[in-house]
Amino acid sequence: MANIIPTAFKTELLSGTHNFANGGNSFKIALYTSNPYDATSTAYATTNEVSSTNTSYTAGGQTLDSQAVAATSTTGHATFANETFSSVTLTAAFAAIYNDTNSDKLCLVLDFGGNKTATNGDFVVQFPTPNATDAIIRIA
C-alpha cells in the first residue's frame, strides 16, 4: 500500500490549519476508482471519484466520526471511527481524507492495494489501531 501524505498537509499542520481534536475541524473521506492525487496535491478533487449514479454513493464522500487526538509514548496521533458507506454498489481503490472546514484541504490519500467492491451492501473503511506504530496519522 502506497499512501500519500501531501507536502502541503505537512506545512499546514505546522501552521495550525488542521484541528483533529474532538470538536475541531470536520473531516470527510471520499472514494476513488483510481488515484487523482500526488504529493503536490493540495485539495479534494472530483476526478476519478466513485460515481454517485446508481451507486448510493454521495459525491464528496462522508463525514468522519469520533475523531480524536492522543499521544502514545513519544508519538502523537489522530484517529477516526471506521467509516461505513451503507447499502452501496461500488468499486473503489483509493480514498482521500480532506478538511471540510478549511477549503477542502487534502490531508491523506489511502491506497487500498487494489479494487474493493460492495454490491448492495456496506463498504467499510477500517482504520488501524490508534497507537504509536499504527495510527492513520501520527507524528513521532
- Given a contact cutoff of 8 angstroms between Cβ atoms, the answer to whether 80 and 67 are in contact is yes
Give the mean pLDDT of 1-10: 88
Q: Which residues on adjacent β-strands are paired with residue 88? A: 121
Half-sphere exposure for 112 (CA within 13 Å, toward CB): 20
- Asked if residue 1 belongs to a domain, the reply is no
Per the structure, the complete domain to which residue 114 belongs is given by: 7-139
Please give the Cα distance from 107 to 77 (Å, whole number). Answer: 14
Please give the Cα distance from 121 to 119 (Å, whole number). Answer: 5
- Asked if residue 105 belongs to a domain, the reply is yes
Neighbour-count burial for 12-22, b at 16+ CB within 10 Å, e otherwise: bbeeebbbbee
Please give the Cα distance from 123 to 117 (Å, whole number). Answer: 7
Domain count, the chain: 1
Those residues whose C-beta lies under 8 Å from the C-beta of residue 23, and which sit 6 or more positions away, are: none
Q: For 57-84, write each residue's pLDDT tens digit.
A: 999 999 999 999 999 889 999 999 999 9
CA angle 122, 18, 59 (to 5 degrees): 35
- Asked if residue 119 belongs to a domain, the reply is yes
Instruction: Work out the number of other CB atoms within 10 angstroms of the CB of residue 86.
Output: 11
pTM: 0.95
- Asked if residue 2 belongs to a domain, the reply is no
Q: For 102-129, write each residue's pLDDT tens digit.
A: 999 999 999 999 999 999 999 999 999 9
Q: For 22-52, write each residue's pLDDT tens digit.
A: 999 999 999 999 999 999 999 999 999 999 9
